[in-house]
Structure 1
Amino acid sequence: MLILRSLLFNVAFYANLILWLFLLIPGLLVPRRTFMEMVKLWGRTSIWLLRVIAGIKVEITGQEKIPPGGALVAAKHQSFLETFAIVTILDDPTYILKRELMWIPIFGWHLAKAQCVPVNRKAGSLALVQMTQRAKEEAEHGRQIIIFPEGTRRPPGAPPAYKYGVAHLYQNLGFPCIPIALNAGLYWPRRQFIRRPGTVRIEVLDPIPPGLPREEFFQRVQAEIETASNRLYEEGRQELGLGPATASEASLSKA
């Protein structure tokens, strides 16, 4: 049954994604804010499919902590799920992403319309300058800049691998940072076909005010996201009947 539900969900999810890629083409002609509301609708339909077909409920808490206006959103990244779920709770979100994604036909058009912030990873230090300038422009227009501080998906419980790009952005934007913890990787494992029924928990943590020294912020945002994510990880393991993490797993997750 788990394999069948996973198969049905994956087919429905990617069919829905392809459908929305084409439905959003007329949206290229409307104002960007209207276009982003259409993107959020895609995210909500995907969450609905998760619940109805795969038996995965997405529980998001702490939304009342999100301040109005521009902000840096630093989220744990474990699966594809959070890339669309987080968008649905923000007023005017945009992503920092690798430039090559902008070159994909149709999909890249939508990223451009959303005014995402591309990063040319081959440009070295210049890429950081360009990224920061674009992100600052978007934040000054009241947008929430979403970044995954580890740069790529990490398995739940894996040692953290935060990069200093998040601290550089925080230091130069001058806006609060909203940390987000989650345990999505337990239910939607990266590079796996299976979707495990249960409750994905996404938790918006207390905003970190602007103005902290770079290193202090870097240590704080990592500690807060990892502490909360480890707690959600343990809750998820108990729900799935996996029991508490072993000593070796616990030491790895805190490394």
Structure 2
Amino acid sequence: MDDKKRNRLPNFTSGDESLLITLVERYANKIENKRSDAVSWEEKRKAWEEIDLKFESQTGIRRGPKNLREKYENMKKRTRKNLADEKRELYKTGGGQFQHRPDKNTGRLATLMGQSATGLENYVDSDAIVTYEQEPEYLDESMQSCTVEHLDAASEAKEHDARADWSSWNPTLLRSKPNEKLATKREKKKETSDAHQIFWMEENQRAAERHTWAKKKNELELKEAEMKLEILRLDVQLKTNKIKNKIK
């Protein structure tokens, strides 16, 4: 009974976990490939077999590709939980200072996992108060003098508009001239539209003519077939009469 009992593998040490991450980093482009086709699965299978051989050569323990893969997935789950706990503590209401508990493997695993480790950032659904510091902008002397001149010119233009007599003006005179480029573009567009319309009108006309000629052709072919049939009928009748005359 004891001989048949399965030998239990020793637990992973922190060194074993670090070694596993190091080996996975060498095959990250295959193991973390998100594709699920047959080629990708085969590449992942071969990668885990090679990782198993290298893990055994350095630790002396043969754990098997399946065991190493399950351990790696459990480490990723633990990393997601740790990062989620840190984010929740960081944005928690109530004040106090957040105590970060660094894990040497968390950062490496998060890099391998990419965005799936932390998820998308949400900048609005949080109790944290984010402040942005920005230095005030100052204008130099040249910009200040330029600004003052612009304001004076604008004030003079406004006073001139107030004194102007607009009684003799009408909407037609106030209407601005159309932009030359825009007008040219509209003309070209209209010309293109007219050309398309003329083309399709001529194409419809040609299609109608083709239909008429095809109809006439069918009528001529039908008459020709009727004439051939009539000639054949007359030929048969002639031969029949000749045979009757010979018999008589």
Q: TM-score, normalised by structure 1?
A: 0.21
Q: For the pair shown, which has the larger CA radius of gyration, 1 or 2?
A: 2
Highest RCO, 1 vs 2 (Cα 8 Å, sep ≥ 6): 1
Q: TM-score, normalised by structure 2?
A: 0.21
Q: Which has the higher strand share?
A: 1
Q: Which has the higher helix share?
A: 2
